Structure 1
Amino acid sequence: MTEYFVKYKPFLVFLGKFLLTYALLTLVYQAYLGQFSKADFEVDSFTESVAHQTKWLIAVFDNQVATAPHLEQASIKMFYHHRFVARIVEGCNALSVIILFVSFVVAFTGKTKTTIGYIVAGSLLVHVLNIARIAFLVVALYHFPEYEDLLHGVIFPLIIYGVVFILWVIWVNKFSLYAAKPVEK
């Protein structure tokens, strides 16, 4: 049995770091969400911020955008050209995606400064791309409501998860302790 632990130690260390980081960050996030009453349809402040940032981004190109609290569920309504087009819920804020990203980077750790810098930069990139993703989705749903399932369920998740995957590949190949080092001549 010991030989298997020795043989698979790198994988087990990776798995342990990933699960521990993911569990810890998820618990912190759930504690944060626990401050808001679902019964009173309260929206967490980060999700509110995402909705307002999305509104701002759309308004840069077209000021016919508005937000309003949803009175029957914990979400923010997005209006485009006076039509209710989408709602921003807690799952739209990309924090769960960022938690997944951070957990993977920590599991394939690198130098401390590099790891922290990559986590901060990658998280900001995911956040900014998420705002752009939601803005494009709002405009697309206004013009093509018949494609809601394709846009919301396939294309736009593919974009955000695709970016995270590319960030992981870059991390593992360029910055982690497992990255291939150039051969010295």
Structure 2
Amino acid sequence: MKKYFILYKPFLLFLIAFFFTYIVLTVFYQEYLNSFGRNKLDSITRMVATNTSQFLHFFGFNFKIEENQSHSFIKLIFNHKYVARIIEGCNAVSMIILFVSFVVSFSGKLKPTLLFIFGGSLFIYILNVIRIALLCVLMFHFPKQENFLHGVLFPLFIYGVVFILWGIWVLKFSKYASNNTK
């Protein structure tokens, strides 16, 4: 049994670091959400909606957001038509937690790890705002494609980007990348 622990030590350390980081960050995020109370919208989701509105206004689109006071979502109104809504799950925090957990589990030196986590998280956030903006425009023009756009295309896009970031991290910056280049 001991030889298996020695043989699979890197994999086991990866799993322990990944799940520990994921659980800790998820608990902190859940506490953050709980601080807003029931049926209240958190400030990160509000910020995503505001940034989406700013992004679309920058390109000259007629776009408006309206917070629903009785439920925790924000209506997205494109050209005077209610096209979608933003809920807590749309703010990409869960995706960022997953991204950070993976990077930490393959961490290398502290400074590059922290810089990659910050840069990657910011990149995911910005892409998520762009994703929501594009989704609004496409939902306005192709409302019958909602299931494909929201359920397939855009998740594939955001997960694909995170997967590419993971690959860059492991191949270029992690402690395993430095071992493979020697």
Unaligned runs of 5+ in 2: none
The amino acid that maps onto 1:43 is L
Q: CA deviation at 1:72?
A: 4.1
Q: What TM-score does the superposition give when structure 2 sets the normalisation length?
A: 0.96
- Work out the CA distance in 1 between the residues paired with 2:102 and 2:128: 19
What does the per-residue CA deviation read over 1:136-155, in whole Å, with 9 as the maximum and x for residues that have no partner? 00010001000000000000
Equivalent residue number for residue 77 of structure 1: 75
1:89 matched to which residue of 2?
87
Using the TM superposition, name which of 57-66 and 136-145 deviates more.
57-66
Note the aligned Cα RMSD (angstroms).
1.0
Partner residue, 2:12? 12
Match runs of 1:31-42 below 5 Å:
31-38=31-38, 41-42=39-40
Matches within 5 A, 1:148-159: 148-159=146-157
- In structure 2, how many angstroms separate the alpha carbons of the residues matched to 1:128 and 1:30? 22
**Residues 11-160 of structure 1 mapped to structure 2, 5 A cutoff:** 11-38=11-38, 41-160=39-158
Aligned-partner Cα distance in 2 for 1:83–1:70: 16
Which residue of 1 is the match for residue 171 of structure 2? 173
Q: Which moved more, 1:150-159 or 1:171-180?
A: 171-180
Equivalenced residues, count = 181
Aligned counterparts of 2:70 and 2:137: Cα–Cα separation in 1: 24
> What's the counterpart of residue 182 of structure 1?
181
Larger CA deviation: 46-55 vs 67-76: 67-76
- In the superposition, the TM-score normalised over structure 1's length comes to 0.95
User: Aligned partners of 2:124 and 2:22: how far apart in 1?
Assistant: 17
Runs of at least 5 residues in structure 1 that lack an aligned partner in the other structure: none
Higher share of residues assigned helix: 2
